[in-house]
Amino acid sequence: MNAPQTVSPIRIDAEFDSGNIEVLGIDGATARLAIPADHMSEFRQWFHFRVSGAAGREVTLKIVNLATSAYPEGWPGYRACVSEDRDFWGRADTTYDKDADGGTLIITYTPASDIAWFAYFAPYSMERHHDLVAEAAASEGVSYRHLGITLDGQSIDCLEMGEGGTEVWLYARQHPGESMAEWWMEGALECLTDPADPVARALRAQCRIHVVPNCNPDGSRRGHLRTNAVGTNLNREWHEPTEEKSPEVLAIRNAMDETGVDFAMDVHGDEAIAAVFLAGFEGIPSWTDELGAQYTRYQSILARRTPDFQTAKGYAVSQPGTANLSMSTNQLAERFGACSMTLEMPFKDNDDLPDAAQGWSPERCKLLARDCLASLLEWLEPESA
């Protein structure tokens, strides 16, 4: 009589750039997991880990205690991102049971190879960031600018290009777990540094463009959702940033003070709303209908240019005089009279144009970036009478 075969348990680890998970227990190919909070913060939602020893086996991953995560409304309808080559990121079968074990996300997947990587969204590593910056900085007509140092000692990188008089600032990943924002930046820089791209050529003739691909390198590398190395939410620091809590914002805002800002886009991701949308600066003390009309016009142009963008879903509009000036979009509109906006992309899918294989994906982030730039070019043209 043959002895019963022992099935080895899967292995799970997250000790790498942007990794974040706590292993509570493993039984064969089933694991019980939890998401640790950002350092010195209560925000927790980002996960990124790898499973090995699972080739050909159905893996069941249960992430528990999510009812008290930062955005529990982000879990219903969400599907986890998965990759076996860390290049193509698809979506795994995922369900959410709000009543099980404090709110449980259940991911099931059968990898063909021995290692599979799971993440809240397709990660954008600091190594890829450095490749992006190096390639862009080596492009003709592009200059690199070091804006400052983070609390962990990383550089705050800025790329500048263009000969025109309109000051444009594009910046992303104030919230590091919103990795779709740097995928958008990759698409934007690929467009802007392409000498044959007509949109880039026209924009660089009319504008001076400043690009900060990652405002929060420390949080990105640490695997944070929303904060920097000391638990600061950078997008609540723009009214009075400090070297101790938010040197990233202080460095970026100081650079903006030197150049001025005419147009600004702050690139983010939203956990709950399954759509691409913009948030503006309604409610700033110095609001004018003329400035508001500039923002509305940009929205309209982008909605016409791509079916991935819409205006029906989004955040509630602030009432007059109630804008939060600690947020960059409001601060820049108030400080410079800039047409500033926050671009939000989904962690889930775009429900208006769903993709069963990938949901919202890095590829679509990059395509959206070029549509945003083409919309900016049209926005710069005077309206016809």
**344 included as an active-site residue:** yes
Half-sphere exposure of 246 (CA within 13 A, CB side): 24
What is the DSSP track for 101-143? TTSEEEEEE--SSSEEEEESS----HHHHHHHHHHHHTSTTEE
Question: What stretches of 260-382 show up as alpha helix (H) in DSSP?
Answer: 289-305, 328-336, 362-380
The CA distance from 200 to 206, in Å, is 10
The CA distance from 155 to 215, in Å, is 10
Q: Which of 202, 206, 231 is nearest to 216 (CA)?
A: 231
The CA distance from 164 to 167, in Å, is 8
The CA distance from 191 to 162, in Å, is 13
Both structure tokens of 355: 């993709």
Q: How many residues does the chain have?
A: 385
- 260 contacts 336 by C-beta, under 8 angstroms: yes
Question: What stretches of 138-264 show up as alpha helix (H) in DSSP?
Answer: 180-192, 198-206, 217-222, 247-259
How many other β-carbons are positioned within 10 Å of the β-carbon of residue 218? 23
From 344, 363, 381, 383, the catalytic residue: 344
Residue 163's contacts (CB-CB under 8 Å, 6 or more residues apart) are 204, 205, 208
Q: If you ran DSSP here, which 8-state letter would residue 320 be given?
A: T
- Which positions are annotated as active-site residues? 344
